Amino acid sequence: MIIPEHGRTLTSEEWQPVIDELLKASHILLTTHENSDGDGLGSEVALALALRSLGKEVSIFNPSDVPPNYHFLKEFYDINVFRDRDEESIQDIFLADLFVVLDANLHDRTGRLWPHVEFARELGKLRIACIDHHLEPEDFADVMVCETYASSTGELVCDLISTLSEKTGKELFTPDSASALYAAIMTDTGSFRFPKSTPYVYRLAGSLVEKGANPEMVYDRIYNSLSPEGLKLLGLSLSSIRIIDNGLISWLFISREMLEQTGSKLFDTDLIIRYLLSVPTVRVAVLLVEMQDGRAKVSFRSRGRIFVNQFAKQYGGGGHMNAAGCLLQMSSEKAQKVVYDDVRKFAREQVDALDSPLFDRRM
Ligand SMILES: [Mn+2]
């Protein structure tokens, strides 16, 4: 593994298999994971713009809607939601000769698109590429660039577009694609704070600003985006946060009732989780949201070397060392009970291991 502090870019030989697929294809379909975020959306918009200027037919189809604070990306490129029963959506998959999955490394993260993609693949010509930075990729695509050293998929896509520009002798960055990539990298690094914010990432952000990215607009659109209803939910949530186990864990349950009472939506909860780590003793934060369809959405955050992705994995979820999540197919009452007991045990074990003299702090 590459030492994160130094950052790096892939060599053009390492990109070659992906570039071959991109240049060979004429109709390319891009997608990202369910409950899309800034990294997935910014990456697909930037790549779509670059591929379009190479004369490719490119469409973006996602398994879920674009959250309102990312709507500005739709002004740069059309982002469609894939509808199972919409003939045109399905048609697009069958017309494509390359399907590119961004910011996800498991086939089922593409949600309702997957059965159609699989069918199109069986019928013949559809190839699959995957570009991602999450841990533990599944071998589901024909070509994969899965690099966990990268702060974001945006960082990798930036590298890819630079390599494509070199190979084709065309400048493929525009102010719009630069802003989209800046949004991708900014959101996935927690505004350039997380451990993978290497000197390289800061230089990359600078180079995107040179290419015309607008950091002020991007930040404002993404973070100053609470609706009045969301702000009410924030107030209610802040007073419901529980800090347990001597400040080690922060816990918040957002019920359907809280969402309904404030008139807020599921995406409003995404902006609330950051407050759960605002108490310095907290090492593990848990946000559990009761969804309309009866499932429970659980998000985990951690401080330091605590691998919440490992914890989320036992429930079929995943993510990164400090940010992970899962969807539980059970009532929120049951989910609360299960996760509450498990997370207390997990946090205690993790912290004991970190405090042990056997733990190498240089890691
Ligand atoms: Mn990402």
**What is the per-residue pLDDT across 197-216, written as a single tens digit (0 to 9) for each?**
999 999 999 999 999 999 99
Q: Which of 184, 199, 169 is nearest to 4 (CA)?
A: 199
CA of 320 to the centre of ligand 1 (A): 9
Q: Do 61 and 55 form a contact (C-beta atoms < 8 A)? A: no
Task: Give the model confidence (pLDDT) of 213-236 as tens digits.
Answer: 999 999 999 999 888 999 999 999
| pLDDT at residue 270, as a whole number | 83
CA of 152 to the centre of ligand 1 (A): 5
**Position of tokens 């996602």?**
62
Q: Which CATH class is domain 228-355?
A: alpha beta
CA of 153 to the centre of ligand 1 (A): 5
**Could you tell me which residues come within 8 angstroms of residue 284 by beta carbon, excluding any fewer than 6 positions away?**
248, 249, 250, 300, 301, 302, 303, 306, 308, 343, 346, 347, 350
Low-confidence ranges of the chain (pLDDT < 50): 1-4, 360-363
Dihedrals phi, psi of 151, to nearest 5 degrees = -65, -25
Q: In Å, how far are 29, 178, 252, 285 from 45, measured between CA atoms?
A: 11, 10, 33, 31
d(CA 193, CA 201): 11
CA of 358 to the centre of ligand 1 (A): 32
Q: Which CATH class is domain 12-222?
A: alpha beta
318, containing H or E segment: strand 318-319
**CB neighbours of residue 21 within 10 Å:** 19
Q: In Å, how far are 27, 240, 357 from 10, measured between CA atoms?
A: 25, 46, 37
CA of 360 to the centre of ligand 1 (A): 28
| pLDDT at residue 318, as a whole number | 87
| pLDDT at residue 136, as a whole number | 87
Domain residue spans of the chain: 12-222, 228-355
| pLDDT at residue 357, as a whole number | 61
CA of 104 to the centre of ligand 1 (A): 8
pTM score of the predicted model: 0.84
What residue type is assigned to position 362 of the chain?
A: R
CA of 239 to the centre of ligand 1 (A): 30
